Structure 1
């Protein structure tokens, strides 16, 4: 989320708790998911070891955060004069409707709902770790619509994403911990998720939703101006409505 106001830098407080892995009896039958988590914990282990050699904790300096760039066609850059205010991992669902009379029709997106988890310090300090977090988060089932922290990390809630109506994706970044603003948005630009993006959870491997640039509407607060959805994981529906119910949801995550 970009704004004309720069969030004050603070000591990086990334605390990765020992996770309780919510695997079921079929976990051993999901080698792809196990590989994702194994790579994540290996990367995390290297960060912990490197951190032990630091003379002081790294600074949570947003000037060090970099917006991911898709190839070959990137999203437009942030508008001149804007500064990065917040970075979050969103974990939730994409909602769709399907024709019950035309099996060859494509599902229609009717919005999304996601809980946002504060990843600002991760973005400024460990961008490589941030890039894999959406796919890692997607491997863990949502146990509620508002989990207090993002599994398997210890990132706390920093807001919520939802659709105020069919054309207004909205970000509420006002929480008890911080009041960053409220931003109803309009889509400015969209590009397909890059090749190799995580396709989805389990049997819902239909592909990653597009990367987006959004522009805040006039009634946004907190001086919020623009938002990006990048590093997406899952969320796409099947190509047609064949065998699908009238309404359904697909799990997704994104930076």
Structure 2
């Protein structure tokens, strides 16, 4: 059953590049507790029929969805007058560079790329399942492919997180060194775009999922929209992170490298 779950992903820079899709790797699953995987599949088995609907639906009652706030120093609250519009699971890489002439220096962060999978209704109906998804996603290695297998391509989009049918709702990348960008316009939904800037950061909580090589979870973030955002999107939260942190120094590292990560992304819009 584990190997039947396939998480599709793209690598992107300023534009979306060639597709990649993860496949299950037993070694990759090691940092993610086998208990996490077991819990996830047990929950999924009990909620599978509802999960199929929730993974492909954007409209649902979001009054029960609660933004996680358990980081050591909580992020600032959502601004007054904003409401939840979308929740996604992001799966991709945090990207870094090293000055190879100074191996004692810390790697420099140069952005991230990730595919975003619709989890909006899961956030409302099944928060326990949602909170396991970033951990479970790290059990699947990103694998480049020039084309997706034909039997994985539904008519509506091209990629899903199966068997819950969590469909792609967007992509995340950086348009320059200081501007994280979220594109939530797909063949499934037209939710808007968000060029953003970091507003606040908080250390991931104790017990956050480590990466495939034991990397610590990247920080939780609050991001605010820059000029040019569409779809009334105003704020983005990155929470429940898993993996993604760089090593302490550049010793033994390449000039450029990636660290796989996953996270929840919560998008808030204005009423007007």
Calculate the TM-score normalised by the size of structure 2. 0.77
From 240, 246, 254, the counterpart of 1:237: 246
Report the counterpart of residue 186 of structure 2 in structure 1.
Answer: 175
Greater CA drift, 228-237 or 146-155: 146-155
Query: Structure 2 unaligned runs (5+)?
Result: 7-21, 52-58, 149-157, 265-272
Q: Secondary structure at the match of 1:44?
A: helix
Deviation at 1:32, TM superposition (A): 4.8
From 253, 263, 271, the counterpart of 1:254: 263
Deviation at 1:100, TM superposition (A): 0.5
Report the counterpart of residue 16 of structure 2 in structure 1.
Answer: none
Alpha-carbon distance in 2 for matches of 1:22, 1:183: 29
Deviation at 1:142, TM superposition (A): 1.7
C-alpha contact (below 8 Å) 1:200/1:207 kept by paired residues = yes
Matches within 5 A, 1:8-157: 19=5, 22-23=23-24, 27=27, 30=30, 32-48=32-48, 60-144=60-144, 148-150=159-161, 153-157=164-168
Q: Secondary structure at the match of 2:96?
A: strand
Deviation at 1:42, TM superposition (A): 1.7
Report the counterpart of residue 9 of structure 1 in structure 2.
Answer: none
After superposition, give the CA deviation of every residue in 1:56-79 in whole Å (9 maximum; x if it has no partner): xxx821111100012442101100
C-alpha contact (below 8 Å) 2:196/2:223 kept by paired residues = yes
Instruction: Call closer, same or farther: CA 1:94–1:46 in 2, change over 3 Å.
Output: same
C-alpha contact (below 8 Å) 1:33/1:139 kept by paired residues = no
From 226, 230, 236, the counterpart of 2:235: 226
Instruction: Call closer, same or farther: CA 1:233–1:226 in 2, change over 3 Å.
Output: same
Query: Structure 1 unaligned runs (5+)?
Result: 1-16, 52-58
Report the counterpart of residue 160 of structure 1 in structure 2.
Answer: 171
After superposition, give the CA deviation of every residue in 1:203-238 in whole Å (9 maximum; x if it has no partner): 2x1200000000001210111100000000000011
Calculate the TM-score normalised by the size of structure 1. 0.82
| Structure with bigger gyration radius | 1
Alpha-carbon distance in 2 for matches of 1:89, 1:131: 10
Alignment root-mean-square deviation, CA: 2.6
Instruction: Call closer, same or farther: CA 1:80–1:87 in 2, change over 3 Å.
Output: same
Report the counterpart of residue 219 of structure 2 in structure 1.
Answer: 210
Alpha-carbon distance in 2 for matches of 1:138, 1:28: 7
C-alpha contact (below 8 Å) 1:60/1:125 kept by paired residues = no
Q: Secondary structure at the match of 1:102?
A: coil
C-alpha contact (below 8 Å) 2:40/2:136 kept by paired residues = yes
1 or 2, which has the higher strand percentage? Answer: 2
Q: Secondary structure at the match of 1:78?
A: coil
Deviation at 1:103, TM superposition (A): 1.4
